[in-house]
Amino acid sequence: MTPAQRRRWDPVRFDRRRLQEFSPDATAVAGADEAGRGCLAGPLVTAAVVVRYDHLPPRALAGVDDSKMLTLRAREELYGRILAAAERVSVVAVSASTIDRTGLHRANLQALAQALAGLEGDYDLALVDGFDLCRPDLRAQALVGGDGKSAAIGAASIVAKVTRDRLMRALDADHPEYGFAAHVGYGTRQHWQALRIHGPCALHRRSFTGVDDSQLSFDDAPGEEWSPAEG
């Protein structure tokens, strides 16, 4: 979606339309998304948010978008409005050790399903950003690019991102040598440099390429540098 298309897009209207296509009597949609897939350290966090459109105050979700498209200040402001407007919210955090043991993709799918299950069926339709959970009992549909299309998924994206970033900034006090408060676990230049000097800590995902290699030179650090704004 281009910036011009995004400005014209109405994610609330999109959700209402999807609900009507699902059932003429449907009023509540659950959105599910995750934050922290690409991080070198810290948990993966998934969130599911129920928006009940027959009770939604006007413009309660105005400005909701993919969390990666928003500034930190905008995410924090929207986070409070989402919690006030949402019918229900469910959050699941997956530790680095679980990601290492289970694998990132499987851990992500399981956590998304757990977040939706935590809503106890209190919705008509669930929209999941990008992933088919293969769980008919959750009434979930995959929506590619959903965090920029659906208000409910965008809300879940913001809740997951704000929750995770706050946690990583709090954990910075326990591991100040890595600079988690600045990069919240993403593979920035600062983070790779700290890994080269100090090696991984208990928060690091040792299954990720280069993280558990004590001989890693920064110049050999794999992959593309990640921004803390990314999901």
Average pLDDT over residues 53-66: 92
Q: What is the sign of the dihedral through the CA atoms of 156, 129, 58 and 2?
A: positive
What superfamily would CATH give domain 3-170?
Ribonuclease H-like superfamily/Ribonuclease H (3.30.420.10)
pLDDT digit string (tens) for 14-38? Answer: 999 999 999 999 999 999 999 999 9
pLDDT > 80? residue 190? yes
Q: What is residue 56's DSSP assignment?
A: P
pLDDT digit string (tens) for 204-216? Answer: 999 999 998 754 5
User: What is residue 223's predicted lDDT score, i.e. its pLDDT?
Assistant: 46
User: What is residue 38's predicted lDDT score, i.e. its pLDDT?
Assistant: 95
What percent of the chain lies above the pLDDT cut of 90?
86
The alpha carbons of the chain give a radius of gyration, in whole angstroms, of 18
Question: What global pTM score does this model have?
Answer: 0.90
Average pLDDT over residues 147-153: 96
* Mean pLDDT, the chain, integer: 91
pLDDT > 80? residue 198? yes
The candidate with the shortest Cα–Cα distance to 5, out of 148, 146, 143, is: 148
d(CA 35, CA 60): 23
Pairing of strands 44-52, 28-35: antiparallel
CB burial class (10 A; 0-12, 13-18, 19+) of residue 176?
exposed
Q: Provide the token pair at 112.
A: 């998304």
Average pLDDT over residues 109-134: 98
pLDDT > 60? residue 92? yes
Q: Where are the alpha helices (DSSP H) in the chain?
A: 3-8, 11-22, 72-85, 96-102, 104-117, 151-171, 180-183, 189-198
- Could you state, in order of their start, the residue ranges of all structural domains in the chain? 3-170, 175-220
**C-alpha distances in angstroms, 119 versus 50, 84, 92?**
8, 16, 12
